[in-house]
Amino acid sequence: KCRTGPLDIVFVIDSSRSVRPFEFETMRRFMIDIIGNLDVGPNATRVGVIQYSSQVQNIFSLKTFFTRADMEKAINSIVPLAQGTMTGLAIQYAMNVAFTVQEGARPPHKKIPRIAIIVTDGRPQDRVSEVATQARNAGIEIYAVGIQRADMNSLRAMASPPLEEHVFLVESFELIQQFGKQFQDKLCGADMCLERDHGCQHSCVSSPGSFHCECNPGYRLNADGKTCSPIDACADGRHGCEHQCVSARGVYSCRCRAGYYLNQDKRTCTMIDYCSFGNHSCQHECVSIPAGHRCRCRHGFTLQPDGASCRAIDLCNGVDHGCEFKCVSSEGSFRCECPEGQQLQADGRTCSKCGAGHVDLVMVIDGSKSVRPQNFELVKQFVNRIVDLLEVSPGGTRVGLVQYSSRVRTEFPLNKYHSADEIKAAVMKVEYMEKGTMTGLALKHMVEHSFSELEGARPLSHNVPRIGLVFTDGRSQDDISEWARRAKESGIVMFAVGVGKAVEEELRAIASEPVEQHFSYSADFTTMTHLVENFKLNICPEEGRGETEIRSPCECEALVQFQTNTVAILQSLTERNILWAHSLAQMTARLEALEKQIALKK
């Protein structure tokens, strides 16, 4: 048996009238003998047969039979055509039809040798040289076998090089069977996979005089023609897997990340609903996550350290409640309250105002780079909360704003705007300066310019209080003591507000006496809204008594309320002192008793 690997062989048999019937029988025997020694099959050698005279007839193609018995039966059933000798036409048919993939030839990339065996006894009646060249260029190896009257030049024109291995001339049909054995040895040759160290990583496939390497399913042959690499079926990106693509032996499968399961489409993933298992123990709500589940509380509640139970939040401390006077928490909610004598307004936040006179207020805000843009927006909101406390009008309270960093800039003077809404809108348009912190320079600017009559401050003879509010978040880069002193000597009531890294010593130097009532501090920008309450009690002084004196209808009531509150506070402090003194006397008596016991033991 010929075991040099798979071949695609097509016999091209001359059945012209010059071939007598008994001679044609020897040609049948020639084909059957050669096929009998081939390893035929769909994955081994495939065989096809065509005969020709003045026309071409396909006896069976490469895909028709895969057993020697079926092939032998078909060959024995051939009826010779007995006409002319159109050998060129037969070669054309073999190239264009018989050796196509549609007719059973293996694709070129599989490197299966394509062999045409032409058997003829005469001179062709058409041209063969050009069409034979085309066939050879298409990868068909041609063996030309001439019998008796065959033309040697035609045989040489058809055959593949080297001619001495592909051209055969047999003297008579009687000798063709003996020649068949010699031809078979030439066709099969040695098994190169056994004769040589082929170096194939997976498998070696022999062909006449050569061999090639093949890879197992799921692998592709590398450029060296010997080694193999796994085919990454995921590499082309067309797998459609939602999470992960896994390649194995040339095919792919989709896989989901931990906490998800693969849907029926074998591509998309759905998160596992751990909460549906019913063992989460969450007091309020269960939320599934890829790693399991977590508990979540309803609005107004906070999750406890056990990760399952919930407790109501003190919303007054946890949110910007906006209450003007007092915030009172309740389960999952809060409400605003006003001091005695004032009514809560329709917005549920503010209290009815008592016109406490008129002032000239200049706010000086820190715009240095340490404040940062997001905190500067909170500073502007803080300024507007203070504006909400005031009765702004040309004859009432006037407000000016100054920003400073390494330099000082008047954002708007006292006489620029005449309503709270105008001022608040202007504040929100102020742009952040950044750079340094020259607080001393800002105080100088406030004293020399901001409280000048040119910028809207009312004459001192009108007895309109002048109030300066300085807001800073860090240490000044210049001296503040001189201009802080001058500000207070000029009659300006100074308030100092510090946030974050503000220096208490500097805040106290800026603030008016009594200092404790004129300076405030907050640890960070997000919690400084409570400072507004401090200013509400201090920023509005007594009514002016000058030319534009305005008497408040609430003044008397306010004084009585202040006196009542003060008496209550003093009484509370007195009671605490009495309790403290009583506790101290009890502790002294116990110490004396212990000393006596120690003395007796000695």
- Answer whether 438's CB lies under 8 Å from 410's CB: no
Write the secondary structure of 142-211 as one string of H (helix), E (strand) and C (coil): EEEEEECCCCHHHHHHHCCCCHHHHEEEECCHHHHHHHHHHHHHHHHCCCHHHHCCCCCCCEEEEECCEE
Does residue 576 have a pLDDT over 60? no
Q: In angstroms, how far is CA 352 from the centroid of its own chain?
A: 53
pLDDT in tens, 168-200: 887 766 666 656 666 666 666 666 777 678 899
Long-range residue pairs from 292-297, CB within 8 A, at least 24 positions apart, any chain: 292/259
Q: In angstroms, how far is CA 131 from the centroid of its own chain?
A: 61
Which pLDDT score, from 0 to 100, does residue 545 have? 36
By percentage, how much of the chain surpasses pLDDT 90?
44
User: Domain spanning 360-539 has what CATH number?
Assistant: 3.40.50.410
Task: Give the span between the Cα atoms of 215 and 224, in whole angstroms.
Answer: 13
Which pLDDT score, from 0 to 100, does residue 425 have? 95
Task: Give the span between the Cα atoms of 7 and 115, in whole angstroms.
Answer: 7
Which pLDDT score, from 0 to 100, does residue 34 have? 85
Average pLDDT over residues 483-501: 91
DSSP string, 42-82: TTSBEEEEEEESSSEEEEE-TTT--SHHHHHHHHHT-----
By percentage, how much of the chain surpasses pLDDT 70?
82
pLDDT in tens, 457-472: 999 888 888 999 999 9
Task: Give the span between the Cα atoms of 148 and 126, in whole angstroms.
Answer: 19
Task: Give the span between the Cα atoms of 99 and 104, in whole angstroms.
Answer: 7
Question: Taking CA 562 as the corner, what is the angle to CA 556 and CA 565, rounded to the nearest 5 degrees?
Answer: 140
Which of 399-403, 454-458, 566-570 is the least confident region? 566-570
Residue 460 is classified by DSSP as: G
Task: Give the span between the Cα atoms of 542 and 41, in whole angstroms.
Answer: 115
pLDDT in tens, 402-428: 999 999 999 999 999 999 999 999 999
Which pLDDT score, from 0 to 100, does residue 174 have? 63
Average pLDDT over residues 145-171: 86
H or E stretch covering 423:
helix 420-428
Average pLDDT over residues 543-555: 39
DSSP string, 519-551: EEEESSGGGGGGHHHHHHHHSS-SPP-STT---
Which pLDDT score, from 0 to 100, does residue 533 have? 63
> At the fourth CATH level, which superfamily is domain 7-188?
von Willebrand factor, type A domain (3.40.50.410)
Task: Give the span between the Cα atoms of 5 and 210, in whole angstroms.
Answer: 10
Q: In angstroms, how far is CA 171 from the centroid of its own chain?
A: 80
Does residue 489 have a pLDDT over 90? yes
Residue 236 is classified by DSSP as: T
Nearest to 384 by CA among 397, 371, 399: 399
Average pLDDT over residues 294-317: 85
- Answer whether 221's CB lies under 8 Å from 232's CB: no
Residue that wins the pLDDT comparison between 406 and 249: 406
Task: Give the span between the Cα atoms of 277 and 280, in whole angstroms.
Answer: 8
Q: Do the domains at 7-188 and 360-539 have one common CATH topology?
A: yes
Under 8 Å CB-to-CB from 123, ≥6 apart: which residues? Answer: 85, 149, 150, 151, 154
Which pLDDT score, from 0 to 100, does residue 341 have? 47
Task: Give the span between the Cα atoms of 49 and 76, in whole angstroms.
Answer: 12
Residue 399, classed as helix, strand or coil, is: strand
Does residue 548 have a pLDDT over 50? no
Under 8 Å CB-to-CB from 264, ≥6 apart: which residues? Answer: none
Measured CA distances, 527 to 319, 472, 478, 531 (Å): 9, 15, 28, 9
Nearest-Å Rg of the Cα atoms of the chain is 54
Amino acid symbol at 352: S
Does residue 477 have a pLDDT over 60? yes
Average pLDDT over residues 234-253: 87
- Answer whether 126's CB lies under 8 Å from 100's CB: no
Instruction: Give the fold, CATH level 3, of 274-312.
Output: Laminin (2.10.25)
Does residue 399 have a pLDDT over 90? yes
Tokens of 542: 């007594």
Average pLDDT over residues 144-151: 84
pLDDT band at 326 (very low <50, low <70, confident <90, very high): confident
Which pLDDT score, from 0 to 100, does residue 231 have? 87
pLDDT in tens, 24-74: 888 888 888 888 888 899 998 999 999 999 999 999 999 999 999 999 999
In this structure, the number of other CB atoms found within 10 A of the CB of residue 243 comes to 14
Which pLDDT score, from 0 to 100, does residue 583 have? 59
E strand residue ranges, 273-314 = 285-289, 292-296, 301-303, 310-312
Nearest to 28 by CA among 65, 71, 61: 71
Which pLDDT score, from 0 to 100, does residue 546 have? 37
Does residue 100 have a pLDDT over 60? yes
- Answer whether 56's CB lies under 8 Å from 93's CB: yes
Which pLDDT score, from 0 to 100, does residue 551 have? 38
The mean predicted confidence, pLDDT, of the chain is: 83
Average pLDDT over residues 466-495: 92
- Answer whether 226's CB lies under 8 Å from 211's CB: no
Nearest to 200 by CA among 172, 227, 229, 165: 227
In the chain, what are the domain boundaries? 7-188, 274-312, 360-539
Q: Are strands 46-52 and 8-14 parallel, antiparallel or unpaired?
A: parallel
Average pLDDT over residues 561-574: 55
Does residue 252 have a pLDDT over 50? yes
In this structure, the number of other CB atoms found within 10 A of the CB of residue 69 comes to 8
- Answer whether 551's CB lies under 8 Å from 475's CB: no
Question: Taking CA 377 as the corner, what is the angle to CA 409 and CA 423, rounded to the nearest 5 degrees?
Answer: 60
Does residue 222 have a pLDDT over 90? yes
Does residue 357 have a pLDDT over 60? no
Measured CA distances, 518 to 357, 434, 476, 541 (Å): 19, 27, 19, 12
Residue 92 is classified by DSSP as: H
Residue that wins the pLDDT comparison between 96 and 290: 96
